[in-house]
Each structure stands twice: as structure tokens, then as C-alpha cells.
Amino acid sequence: MKYQQEIYSYNSHLVMDMEIIGLIKEGVGILGISRLLQISKATVIRRTVRIGKSIRRSSPIVFGQKYQVDELFTYVGHKKNRVCVAYSIEESTGNVIDIVVGRRNKTNLRKVISTLVLAEASQITTDKLNIYKELIPSTVHSTKHRGINKIERKNLTLRTHLKRLNRRTICYSKSIKMLDAVLRIYFWFGVKTIL
């Protein structure tokens, strides 16, 4: 005998990706989203990673601008596994140009810097980390005092909005893929699209 269920109680197919995106941008965690939208945690994770993979830089890179580059540390899985989030912003607008999540090494920092060098940046301001000297041409590299104030303020805003980046918390990302997806959604999914 075959049976057909008349009322299907799990309604994850009714939840739109925009609702998940809106809650992520408001800093709600995975369990909170799951509870508010009444869908499983696995569904929230799967959709967040899928949305994050599909998002690319929101605005085109303008040539000849001034940029700031910085990195902030968080952890993935447990507190002994430190991960670096390196990113760059356009100084005049504050738009995030590029993001790399991983170890703080030449390979990952080069991904962020090469985008700016190809955009013929008039100035790239960083902190005094030695790796930057090798990656950025000296003609455009600046390490002036208080030169990265704008990106440092963005770091503080990030740590305030996204609990997974907070320093003293029990909230953390369990995978680099998830951290990358949440950051892409937070930085690059425009507010105008949600409304």
C-alpha cells in the first residue's frame, strides 16, 4: 500500500534566502536563525554556504584610488586554531574590495594586494607588517601613523556585529567555509537588495 502525507510539517522550502541573508547581516547566529525561521540548523548552514559562494564583489574597482589593508584574527573550531581575515577597503567610500580567510602568510595576503596593484592604486596603506614590504611596490606603499584608522574602525564594527569574530565569546565558526560565506554576505550583499 502507498500513503501520501496530506500536510507536510517541515516548511524550509517556504523560507526565502533573503530572510537568512537579512538575519546574518543583523548578526544573528546559526542557531538563532534556525529557531526564528523554524528550519533545521543543517538547512541554515547549507544555504548560507551556497549563498556565500554565489556572492562576488558588490561594486567594481575604481582605478587609481587609495586603499587600506588590514587583517584581524579569530578562531575556527577551537581557540588554538587561529585564523586570519585579511581584507582591503577603498579609503574614500569604505567599500570592501577583497577578502581572504586563512593563515596570515604571503600567499593569502598576495591575493588581497594583487587586486589593488592591478587596479593601479595611487596609495596602499597598511600596518608595519614585514610581509607587505615584499608584496607592495614602495612607490605606492604607505605605513603612516593612523593611516589605517578607517579599516581599524571597520574591524571594531565587524567584531561588534558578528559574534563569531568577537574576542571574548563562546561563539565561533566551526569551518573556514562558513566564516568566509558569512563575511561575503555581510560585506557584499547590498542593503538595497534586501529591501
Residue 37 · residue 20 · CB < 8 Å: yes
Q: How far apart are CA 90 and CA 142, in angstroms?
A: 14
pTM score, two decimals?
0.83
For the record, the C-alpha cell of 120 comes out as 593601479
26 in a structural domain: no
What's 88's domain CATH number? 3.30.420.10
pLDDT of residue 61: 84
- Structural domain tally of the chain? 1
Q: Is residue 115 part of a domain?
A: yes
Give the mean pLDDT of 35-56: 91
Please check whether residue 97 lies inside any domain of the structure.
Answer: yes
pLDDT band at 13, cuts 50/70/90?
low
Top pLDDT among 12 and 177 is at: 177
* Per-residue pLDDT at 69 exceeds 70: yes
In a domain, 186, yes or no: no
Evaluate whether residue 116 is within a structural domain.
Answer: yes
Model confidence at 179: pLDDT above 60 = yes
Is 180 within the bounds of a domain? Answer: no
Average pLDDT over residues 178-193: 80
Mean pLDDT check: name the lowest of 67-71, 131-135, 169-173. Answer: 169-173
Question: Residue 166 has what pLDDT?
Answer: 76
Residue 192 has pLDDT above 70, yes or no: no
Residue 98 CA to residue 95 CA, distance in Å, equals 9
Domain of 94 in residue numbering reads as: 66-173
Give the DSSP H/E element, type plus range, for residue 194.
helix 191-194
Q: What is the pLDDT of residue 116?
A: 94
Give CA separation, 13 vs 16, 34, 35, 39, 86, in Å.
8, 13, 16, 9, 35
Nearest to 118 by CA among 186, 67, 77, 154: 67
Q: Is 144 left (phi over 0), alpha (psi -120 to 50) or beta?
A: beta
pLDDT of residue 195: 30
Residues 72-107 pLDDT 10s = 999 898 888 889 999 999 999 999 999 999 999 999
Structural domain contains residue 144 = yes
Predicted confidence at residue 21, as pLDDT, reads 92
- Residue 56 has phi, psi (to 5 degrees) of -120, 175
Answer whether residue 146 is part of any domain.
Answer: yes
Contact 115, 176 (CB under 8 A): no
In this prediction, residue 180 carries a pLDDT of 94
Q: How confident is the model at residue 193 (pLDDT cuts 50, 70, 90)?
A: very low
